[in-house]
């Protein structure tokens, strides 16, 4: 289970529901890309580039209610 840092919100800012870790779709949770693997002629082993989608974090916290917009979806038990 992911532990929240002190500066991270404890719940959704819109509805107060729990947050879950959502793995980045672009880097698949790695936080970046191995450039040597992409082009071993140009890059040295260990050269990496941070993912621009997640800022190198590998993902982000998202509301468990899966917001469609700035407001929560109205679902049973969550209004």
Domain range list for the chain = 21-63
Q: What is the 8-class DSSP label of residue 4?
A: P
pLDDT digits (tens, 9 = 90+) for 16-65: 888 888 899 999 999 999 999 999 999 999 999 999 999 999 998 888 87
The pLDDT of residue 8: 60
Sign for the pseudo-dihedral over CA of 63, 67, 71, 74: negative
Predicted model pTM: 0.62
Instruction: With CA atoms as reference, report the closest residue to 32 among 17, 19, 43.
Output: 43
Q: What is the pLDDT of residue 13?
A: 78
Q: What is the pLDDT of residue 1?
A: 43
Sign for the pseudo-dihedral over CA of 62, 67, 73, 79: positive
């Amino acid at each position: 289970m992911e532990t929240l840092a002190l500066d991270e919100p404890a719940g959704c800012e819109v509805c107060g529901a729990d947050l879950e870790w959502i793995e980045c779709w672009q880097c698949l949770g790695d936080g970046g890309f191995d450039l040597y693997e992409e082009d071993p002629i140009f890059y040295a082993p260990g050269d990496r580039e941070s993912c621009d989608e997640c800022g190198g974090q590998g993902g982000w916290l998202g509301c468990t209610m899966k917001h469609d917009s700035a407001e929560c979806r109205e679902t049973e038990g969550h209004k």
